[in-house]
Amino acid sequence: MTATSPLRLQLLMSDTGGGHRAAAQAIAAEVGLLDPSADVRVVDIIAEMAPFWRAVVGLYGPIVRTVPWLWGGMFAAFATGGRAPLWHAVNTVALATVRHRTLRYLDRTLPDAVLSTHPLISQACHAARLAWERERGRRIPFGIVITDPVTFHPSWIEPGADITFVATPEARDRAVACGAPADTVRLSGQPIHPRFLRDPPSRHQARAALSIPADAHAVLLTGGGEGVGALPALARAFLDLPGAPAVLAVAGRNPSGEAALRALGDAGGRLKVWGFCEQMPTLMAASDVVATKAGPGTVFEAWALGVPVVLVDALPGQEAGNVELVRSSGAGRVALGSAEAAALAVQGLLSDAAARRAAGDAARALTRPEAARDMARWLLDQARASRGE
């Protein structure tokens, strides 16, 4: 590596849900806009670890889709008691199995700076970078981007991180309470990909691409990256609403949910179905309402486009705070528990243009459009400093 070689930047994540990768990709895209010469990589770091840890992470999707109460119990058990002593006890054992692998990964990739967007990575990366500094004589700047905007798990926090980015004042207070030094916690906002912010498709362009009539209502239905929730029942309830809205259903990484949605037919062209998809800016721009589980990635992306949300599902634990944020902000509606309740909430917004506009205005006010760019700047500045530039 020479002084003139591209900066090497790493954004570490894991595919539990879609939000961790989406946040990392948003920051990477902003890095590319700020410094096209930088070598920035989004890496599923859990895939670099032992097979045991890949298997553990692989259980997340099936658990949250089929037994979300179990996930809620696990979250609570490992998040209670001051700074979560049970979690830290388990994590101490886990570090012994992954620290050396993480150190070898750093040796192989030689990053100039690292950001993590996943809670299971924080302590392992910090321990490995300290060992790397002692053994190799060079310090790697390391930061954390907490992608849960309110009620995040204490496992996110590593007091030795150079910076911890959070999305809301509530998250800032919680980070400090969980052990992050106050002067290293930065209130930045939720990282959103620039394709949602800089020249997103217009409503007309999006509807033309999806063959949706300009005068029809459209609802985007999604269960997040893992396709959580009773998506077929929700789709049927929305298709039955007055005014015959189009329903854009995204099943995520849930093939059985996608198959069940497709089995409903196309409702005369009104039902359109995707699996895990990269077209979310177009789907959101075409929609009047986004009906979604309470995952922060989807919620904040919709809000960035001024589209109100209706929360139709929420994981216990990390998404509980998101429900209260929607409820208190006026940027959408909360309708958990049944397809009928969700349909009533969606219809309430579809039938009231003034309410939709008010919710959309509240939604835009909650987003910080420069969040991902601020994180990208930090990454680039730290990488240059680590090289002595």
Residues 6+ away with beta carbon under 8 Å from 275:
250, 251, 252, 253, 254, 255, 258
pTM: 0.85
Q: One fold for both 8-192+369-387 and 198-366?
A: yes
Superfamily of 8-192+369-387 according to CATH: Glycogen Phosphorylase B; (3.40.50.2000)
Question: Could you read off the pLDDT tens digit of each residue along the chain, which spans 389 residues?
Answer: 555 789 999 998 887 666 888 899 999 999 999 999 999 999 887 776 655 566 666 666 666 666 665 656 666 665 554 455 555 655 565 556 666 777 777 778 889 999 999 887 788 788 888 888 888 888 899 999 999 999 888 888 899 999 999 999 999 999 999 899 999 999 999 999 999 998 889 999 999 999 999 999 999 999 876 666 689 999 999 999 999 999 999 998 888 889 999 999 999 999 999 988 889 999 999 999 999 999 898 999 999 999 999 999 888 777 888 999 999 999 999 999 899 999 999 999 999 999 999 999 999 999 999 999 999 999 999 999 988 86
Asked if 313 and 370 touch (Cβ cutoff 8 Å), the reply is no
Question: In the CATH hierarchy, which top-level class contains the domain 198-366?
Answer: alpha beta
In the chain, count of helices (H) and strands (E)?
16, 12
User: Domain residues of the chain, as ranges?
Assistant: 8-192+369-387, 198-366
Q: Which helix (H) or strand (E) holds 114?
A: strand 113-116
What's residue 81's pLDDT? Answer: 45
Asked if 126 and 160 touch (Cβ cutoff 8 Å), the reply is yes
3-state secondary structure 12-57: EECCCCCHHHHHHHHHHHHHHHHCCCCEEEEEEHHHHCCHHHHHHH
What's residue 86's pLDDT? Answer: 54
DSSP single-letter state for residue 180: -
What's residue 82's pLDDT? Answer: 45
Phi, psi of 224 (to 5 degrees): 75, -175
